[in-house]
Amino acid sequence: MIKNEVFNHMIKIDEDQCIGCSHCVRVCPTEALRVWNGKATLDDPKCVDCGDCERVCPVKAIVVTEDFTEFRDETYHVALLPSVFWGQFSPDISRRRITNAIIEMGFDEVFEVEESVEFLSQELENYLADKKGEKTISSFCPAIVRLIQTRFPELVSSVAHLKSPVDISALHISRSIKKERGEDAKYQIFYVTPCAAKAAAIKNAHGDEKENPITGSVNMDVFYNKVTQLLQGNEEEEGEDIEDNLSGKSVGWSLRGGEGNHIQGRCLSIDGMNHSIEFLENIDKEEFKDIDFLELKACDQGCAGGILNPQNRFLCVESLKKRAMQNDQKQNPLPDLLLEEKDIQIEEIEEMSVLALDSNPSQALKMMNKTRRMMCYLPGFDCGACGAPTCKSLAEDVAKGNAILSHCVFMQREMEKHHRLSPEHAFNIIESIWGKDRLDKDCNKKGAINDYS
Amino acid sequence: METLKLKYSLKDGDFSNAGNASSNIKKNLKMLGINAAVIKKMVVSIYEAEVNMIAHANGGVIEVFIDEEKIKAILADVGPGIPDIDQAMKKGYTTASEEVRQMGFGAGMGLPNIKKNSDDLKIESVVGEGTTLTITSYYKS
């Protein structure tokens, strides 16, 4: 069940690193960021963990919190890896050698997330048949699901109420461990995550161990470094490589178009947050009427573009496509999974709208009108000097009582002209947004005379 | 009573922008915290009417008034008018040209669909002058 009193976010701002440059504020697709006191500040309910802020941060101040607990002794440890992880490595490094490195880290088993894709895609096909042509949106990308919950609550019922491969695979793993090692067997399953949203989804599912047996997540960049270090010391072994059991189509599930590949009906595949938002805003339009399945992924190129992928996303896509072609020729038998149809259903996806200016519509009406009145004064440049991404977002902040009109530097000039604001006061306002002494000469800042980076 | 007013002008035959007004109305309604089901029905109605105005009625003006109890949309076109409103309310009745129907519009579901998705629908039409629809939804009940 995707339901939480408090939604756990994995995107965090490291205030010690943050230089308050506002790059993140400008790109956040849900306008969840502001600069205040010289630092980026995140409005948690609005954040969907898409990671677009991390891509533009010049000082690595946007971090993905790790949800890793130490290995417990006498426990069976499983590393659950998405196929994009395998796509990080050059093709001349064998699966056996990478697997050996992971075992060396202390894991007992390596399992690929996409092993449950064939099972899921059959269920998805049945699910779509039941919907009889009603548009269904994929539940695969947790940033997109969260986006729909918070900004498109009217579409929550259109999201496929089916779990994603990572949860399905974890369920199979936990059952197979119990089957082989006894009902009381202790185990830990760690998911190696390519992005913040997947890590957040796992964190939010905690508390129901039977349904969600994943112990925690490890950031893929960290995991990749560890594996690569271990690869330095281990040579290729003679003999056969480990069997690659995925069907060709399963390999690319997490890439753009990967889900659509499995679907008989008409499917549209969209990647990137802004493209997805634009589409969701226009979903009712006539031209989209006959689409059965919508595959939306927050990252460009799907999961290969996740912010924790250490390698270039296009090389990863190339590598996975090659692997898919090779596997296509092999005609692998379907993996035998300890799963039933009912295991992969999601009971409820909750509406969690963050758009309302106020929970009371009559109060919201007043705020909406105030926002529009404020827009009569603001210049409409969207310069960001107020610490908000657009004039409209400042106007909304003013209407909500979170900001004042004189946060706008152009409004300040206007007020100074009419002697309603002293230059000292105006300067104090700037410092309250951008930080004390922020306008002092600093030859060490990025691009300045002492910067050689 | 506090009222929010929105206004959109629609150009005749501007199919490429069909639906933009309803999308924008939807965005605004969501910011008011109005129940998602109410918004959905209201936007379906307005979308139908918006497409009607662009496809068959030489364009026009949409005005939306939202107060603490209801959403009222007034859609005024300068089109041919509806000679027989009762007949136009029947499912499948259409005056659309083959060309328009091939674009996926004009299936004769418009007015019945608007009626179905609103609490109140008022149609005023004068042949040769135009049609004004007033669609109301009471969201606070």
**What's the confidence (pLDDT) of residue B120?**
94
Q: Which residues contact A104 (CB under 8 A, 6 or more apart)?
A: A230, A234
**Confidence band (pLDDT; 50, 70, 90) for A91?**
confident
| DSSP-derived secondary structure letter, A237 | P
Question: What's the complex ipTM?
Answer: 0.85
Chain A partners of B34 at a C-beta cutoff of 8 Å? 361
**What's the confidence (pLDDT) of residue A209?**
57
pLDDT in tens, B119-141: 999 999 999 999 999 999 999 86
Work out the mean pLDDT of chain A and round it to a whole number: 92
Is the pLDDT assigned to residue A275 strictly greater than 50?
yes
**What's the confidence (pLDDT) of residue A3?**
47
Q: Which residue type occupies A106?
A: G
Binary contact (A357, B44; C-beta < 8 A): no
C-alpha count within 13 angstroms, C-beta hemisphere, residue A412 = 16
User: What mean pLDDT do residues A279-306 have?
Assistant: 93
> pTM of the predicted model, to two decimals?
0.92
Q: Are strands A216-219 and A267-271 parallel, antiparallel or unpaired?
A: unpaired
**What's the confidence (pLDDT) of residue B88?**
82
Binary contact (A284, B47; C-beta < 8 A): yes
**Confidence band (pLDDT; 50, 70, 90) for A309?**
very high
Structure token pair of residue A85: 């992880």
**What does each C-alpha distance from B104 to A276, B92, B109 come to in angstroms?**
24, 14, 12
Q: Does B7 contact A at CB distance below 8 Å? A: no
**Confidence band (pLDDT; 50, 70, 90) for B101?**
low
Is the pLDDT assigned to residue A241 strictly greater than 70?
yes
Cβ-nearest to B31 among A351, A357, A360: A357
User: What mean pLDDT do residues A314-326 have?
Assistant: 96
Coil/strand/helix, residue A255: coil
Is the pLDDT assigned to residue B100 strictly greater than 70?
no
CA distance B135 to A415: 44
Binary contact (B32, A153; C-beta < 8 A): no
Chain B partners of A373 at a C-beta cutoff of 8 Å? none
Query: pLDDT over 90 for what percent of chain A?
Result: 80
User: What mean pLDDT do residues A217-224 have?
Assistant: 96
Is the pLDDT assigned to residue A4 strictly greater than 50?
no
**What's the confidence (pLDDT) of residue B82?**
87
What is the CATH code of the structural domain delimited by A11-63? 3.30.70.20
Is the pLDDT assigned to residue A198 strictly greater than 60?
yes
Cβ-nearest to A281 among B3, B23, B51: B23
Task: Tell how far CA B74 is from the center of its chain.
Answer: 8
Nearest CA in chain B to A396: B31
How is chain B split into domains, by residue range? 4-138
Interface of A with B (CB under 8 A): 151, 153-154, 156, 281-282, 284-287, 289, 351, 353, 355-362, 364-366, 368-369, 372
What is the CATH code of the structural domain delimited by B4-138? 3.30.565.10
Cβ proximity of B133 and B114 under 8 Å: yes
CATH 3.30.70.20 maps onto chain A at 11-63
Binary contact (B33, A282; C-beta < 8 A): no
Beta-carbon pairs below 8 A across chains A and B: 74
CA dihedral A291, A295, A296, A301 (to 10 degrees): -130
**What's the confidence (pLDDT) of residue A8?**
84
Q: Does B34 contact A at CB distance below 8 Å? A: yes
**What's the confidence (pLDDT) of residue A211?**
63
Is the pLDDT assigned to residue B91 strictly greater than 80?
no
Burial of residue B34, with CB atoms counted within 10 A of its CB: 0-12 exposed, 13-18 middle, 19 or more buried: buried
| DSSP-derived secondary structure letter, B59 | E
Q: Does B141 contact A at CB distance below 8 Å? A: no
